[in-house]
Structure 1
């Protein structure tokens, strides 16, 4: 009776520790283990394996391996699952030598590696680009160990071949697999994804038919992958047809897919359907907690000049407690600039600063470009001076707009300053300055400035863009 009770208590302890480890609460898991031991609930190999798996996944291989010392001190021997977790941790960090050391240690302990052990090693070799070694493990080591590869092994091989661009080899391997094991739905999805990424439309459609012939029903992953491929390959009508089918069958789609659908509808002149699609996605609750959908709708309203709808949507975003992202603020700034409301765009950026938020470099770039195009170059330059982070587009935009405004000397001095700081600026900015100087000042001034640019580029070892 007492023994049975202790067994149940250890099972409960294992469930709790495993749950804590999977949710990254390793400190709580350790505390719970200590509390359990104090109460007389003794851990077993499963308890320690949960900790090792947690440390391997979320902390590091050294911390995970340290747990094995505590196991041995408690009189518990590591098993195959222990070493599999450790090898997986080493593989995650691409530590090939360490993975092999752990594999050899497992063999020395008298344990026989299982298919998971070999799968992890094969996956590691693929990640390192050593395909030949991965296939050697499959064709030699697995065979010598007397193991039979399962479908998950083949899924790893197919995924690696697809990701490395060896699509034809993946298709040939798939045909071989069909003669050995029954492919899973995941197997078909891996191949469809690989074929779609390489834009092999007819082959992807063939694989979809193969999937259905095998008795499987395409899932959201299958359809979303196909949907993205249709839009990327400009097969808009096919994409929209598949979208309607997904909608009818109750499938959900990610932010990219829904935005791609809306973009396709707009490109084909079906703005009303685009509005309807976004309204349905946002209002139905399927994507009501997704700022991506609201961003798409916000962009549509600005493009249509429907400011009342913009205000209503922003209120709804606030009411639902959604957090606007950098793209939301960029849409607002760009939208206000597009209707000539430069003051409103500047005010929005200032409000972000007042709220303790750092506007993204993309949002600032958008405002600088908009202010310059509206003839407010001085205001744009003040914003440029206040920016802590700038990118290539920031510098290029400022130089080009100064040239357009006839401030060629200022543009040339600024560009020279950038080069002296070792910054890489596109050659288009340099061409704009030199062309402007030749046309409005003199060829001599342009040549003199050109030599200064070349000297600055050379002295700061900048690759000539």
Structure 2
């Protein structure tokens, strides 16, 4: 047994740091695990990486690693591995036998769409660990159902569990339920939830109204949005913040009403409210989807001019839609800027850009682009070599 344990420790250390002879700190283990999980696909190795890192929900990095591991296992449809891994942690790690980790495990099961297992874990807390569930684990169970998009289960838990387990819902409970109603086309139920919150002396917050507003936009009930914002201010003394404006901008852009979203954006600025990168992302994506790429590019330039941080997703969106519209030279300019920051659009988009450059007699630019991609990113290098060979004949 001692030999196997020493072998396991050496094996795990090798997984996380094959070139290091010194023990890793907890944070170094977490970072190594995150890095390895990014590309790993073998279910057994994924679980071994997590074991080696001794992950804990106390750490933000570890929570990210847990989530990434479960996403990987779920994508591979290896649900047994998800269950065995989380059950093993609950049974073998005394430091994780508490409501905080159990709540996290419940959410992870929801992430894997394993609601039956999430429910079992909730029950295991009281029956096997003698831990009385609180609103924290109730909210985790509701959130797990929401993540799994099982809105019927959200409603059932909300209606039954507070009575069964003598738990008083808090504002987060109600916000999750409202979000579920908003996503399932039942936004009108929001008003009855607000009445219940009043009866239970639970004051809503801005998130309550943001979730509600998003739902009414999804159902194109624009008058209800006005009623909500009025109620928000007059009954509860709450005022729209930046996140409220961003929800409204995003919702309008999804409905292909980006011009209205832009007017709202400008109105926000005129009232002294400063936008953020997210405000711009929604507008740029909205105008791209509506085919107004000139406006999308103008907003992109304005965003950079004002010093807002641009992430990879924004670059990728622009490159994709510029290629779709045949604006290959503009797409090349933005792609180069993105690659210079270490972000490369996916293979399909870049292949379309390369082929597009060739189609407009920019073969040298296409070749140079491939060269840069191959130097900076080894992934798909074989595919790029094949394309490069084809270009040599041009």
Q: TM-score range by the shorter chain?
A: 0.5 to 0.7
Deviates more, 1:88-97 or 1:57-66: 57-66
Structure-2 separation of matches of 1:67 and 1:282: 52
Structure-1 separation of matches of 2:108 and 2:352: 38
**In the alignment, is residue 254 of structure 1 matched against residue 341 of structure 2?**
no
Q: TM-score, normalised by structure 1?
A: 0.56
**In the alignment, is residue 240 of structure 1 matched against residue 332 of structure 2?**
yes
Q: Report the CA distance shift for 1:286/1:303 in structure 2 as closer, same or farther (over 3 A).
A: closer
Structure-2 separation of matches of 1:213 and 1:8: 51
Which structure would you say has the larger RCO, counting Cα contacts within 8 Å and 6 or more residues apart? 2
Residue aligning to 1:76: 167
Q: Report the CA distance shift for 1:62/1:247 in structure 2 as closer, same or farther (over 3 A).
A: closer
Does the CA contact (< 8 Å) of 1:9 and 1:41 recur in 2?
Answer: yes
The equivalent position to 1:222 in structure 2, one of 308, 314, 317, is 314
**In the alignment, is residue 121 of structure 1 matched against residue 216 of structure 2?**
no
The equivalent position to 1:61 in structure 2, one of 151, 174, 180, is 151
Deviates more, 1:135-144 or 1:42-51: 135-144
Unmatched segments (≥5 aa) in structure 2: 1-93
Q: TM-score, normalised by structure 2?
A: 0.65
Residue aligning to 2:107: 18
Does the CA contact (< 8 Å) of 2:112 and 2:148 recur in 1?
Answer: no
Does the CA contact (< 8 Å) of 1:281 and 1:288 recur in 2?
Answer: no
Q: Deviations over 1:248-291 (max 9, x none)?
A: 232221344313312212212344654664576478646439xx
Q: Report the CA distance shift for 1:215/1:298 in structure 2 as closer, same or farther (over 3 A).
A: same
Residue aligning to 2:176: 85
Q: Deviations over 1:340-393 (max 9, x none)?
A: xxxxxxxxxxxxxxxxxxxxxxxxxxxxxxxxxxxxxxxxxxxxxxxxxxxxxx
The equivalent position to 1:200 in structure 2, one of 281, 284, 292, is 292
Residue aligning to 2:125: 36
Structure-2 separation of matches of 1:24 and 1:142: 38
Query: Aligned residues, how many?
Result: 298
Structure-2 separation of matches of 1:117 and 1:184: 21
Residue aligning to 1:462: none
Q: Report the CA distance shift for 1:35/1:194 in structure 2 as closer, same or farther (over 3 A).
A: closer
Does the CA contact (< 8 Å) of 1:87 and 1:103 recur in 2?
Answer: no
**In the alignment, is residue 106 of structure 1 matched against residue 197 of structure 2?**
yes
Residue aligning to 1:45: 135
Q: CA deviation at 1:106?
A: 3.0
Residue aligning to 2:23: none
Q: Report the CA distance shift for 1:279/1:206 in structure 2 as closer, same or farther (over 3 A).
A: closer
Structure-2 separation of matches of 1:55 and 1:230: 38
DSSP-derived class of the 2:216 partner: helix
Residue aligning to 1:95: 186
Q: CA deviation at 1:243?
A: 1.8
Does the CA contact (< 8 Å) of 1:6 and 1:41 recur in 2?
Answer: no
Does the CA contact (< 8 Å) of 2:338 and 2:344 recur in 1?
Answer: yes
Q: CA deviation at 1:47?
A: 0.4
